[in-house]
Structure formats: structure tokens, C-alpha cells
Amino acid sequence: MGICKIEGCGRPSKARGLCHPHYTRQRRHGHPLGGGTSKGATLNYIQDVVLPFTGQECLPWPFSRSGVGYPLITYHGLRQGAHRLVCEMVHGPAPTPGHEAAHSCGKGHEGCINPNHLIWKTSAENKADKIAHGTTLRGSKNHKALLTEEQVREIRALRGVVKGKDLAQRFSVSPVTITNIQKRTTWAWL
């Protein structure tokens, strides 16, 4: 094991070249030096940096993030998405409680907080954007997927030619999975 790659740290590295404390901060806050933010710093950052920002490139959130990378803020005692707060500050309140702050850049999961990339959209519109951006975790992009897209196409092509239980054995999945694929209950988009 080497030494933590953070300058001046000196502790032994545990994972990805970082010591345990820096690695934990990287996971929790999206940056190895994140965390320990002073009270009001996040709101000041939004007012002083985010709202006046006019660039078209993504503006990364330097503070805490959700487990999937979205920017987080505690505002009026509630933990919420910082992108939603910025969208509200720029575009006014959400048209309905079901509207979401959507990212036109498709990089909300990377902590983008650029006000020029945020707009209110319905859940269905936001999901359609995720598909268009290629950021939805469907098919073999999903870490729980047992099959590849090619295998699913093969299973469908063999419908009526090879028995479902034989296909299930061949692809190491259950017969119900084969039936759902062939009926397009699962992998319907493919």
C-alpha cells in the first residue's frame, strides 16, 4: 500500500489511492476534501456562484451529494436536492408538486448545478430525457442485470423453437424470466 494521494496527508492509502478518511469523504460528499461545511456556506455558494453563473458548461456541486451523485443541501431544516432549490430560485416554484428539476445536460448524477441546465419537467418527461441522454440504468447497464441485450434478443428469437425451461438452464435464469422476456413484460424497450 502507498500513501494517500492528498497532498500533505501522509496516511497509508486504503482504497483508490486515498486513506480511509479521504475515501469516506469522497464517497459521502463527492470529493476527498468534502464535508465539514460551515453553516450557510452552501446557500452562500448558490447565491454568490451558482445564480450569477452564465456559462454553458456543467457547474459541479462541491458539497455533499446523494448516493447516486445528485447535489444535496439542508435548507430550512430539510435535506433536499440543491438542483431543485436552484431551479425554484431561477424559475419559480414547481408548477405542481409532481414536477421535478430536470437537467438538460443529463449530468445531474454528476452533481451539475448550472442554473442554465435546470428546468421543471414532469416525471415522465424527465424519464424520457434520461433515456435520451443514456443515463437510465436499464438493460445491461443495470448492475443487477443477469443477461445482455444480445442474449435477450436470442431468447426472443428462439421462442417456440426451444423450450423455456431449456432456455432458462442455458442462460442460468428462471423459466419465469424467459417467459417475461418473450412476452416483453421485461426488457420491453428492446
Q: pLDDT tens, 112-170? A: 999 999 999 999 998 888 878 877 777 777 777 889 889 999 999 999 999 989 999 99
What's the domain count of the chain? 3
The helix (run of H) or strand (run of E) holding residue 101 is strand 100-103
Domain-embedded: residue 99: yes
- For the chain, how big is the Rg over CA atoms in Å? 22
Looking at residue 161, what is its pLDDT? 92
One-letter amino acid of 136: T
Say if CB 84 and CB 145 are below 8 A apart. no
pLDDT in tens, 66-105: 888 899 999 988 999 999 999 999 999 999 999 999 999 9
28 shares its domain with 41: no
69 plus 123 within the same structural domain? yes
C-alpha closest to that of 27 among 68, 61, 56, 58: 68
Same domain, 54 and 93: yes
Provide the domain limits for residue 151: 140-182
Give the angle subtended at the CA of 140 by the CAs of 137 and 144, to the nearest 5°.
Answer: 75
- Segment 8-22, tens digit of pLDDT: 889 999 988 999 989
Q: Are residues 111 and 152 in the same domain?
A: no
Check residues 150 and 28 and name the one with the higher pLDDT.
Answer: 150
Residue 17 Rama label (left phi>0; alpha psi -120 to 50; beta): left
pTM: 0.61
Q: If we measure between CA atoms, which residue out of 7, 6, 40 comes closest to residue 25?
A: 6
Beta-carbon contacts of residue 2 (< 8 Å; ≥ 6 apart): 12, 13, 17
* Overall average pLDDT of the 170-181 stretch: 92
Asked if the structure places residue 65 within a domain, the reply is yes
- Residue 142 in grid coordinates: 443495470
More confident residue, 93 or 63: 93
Distance, in Å, from the CA atom of 130 to the CA atom of 22, rounded to the nearest integer, reads: 31
Alpha carbon of residue 178 to chain centroid: 29
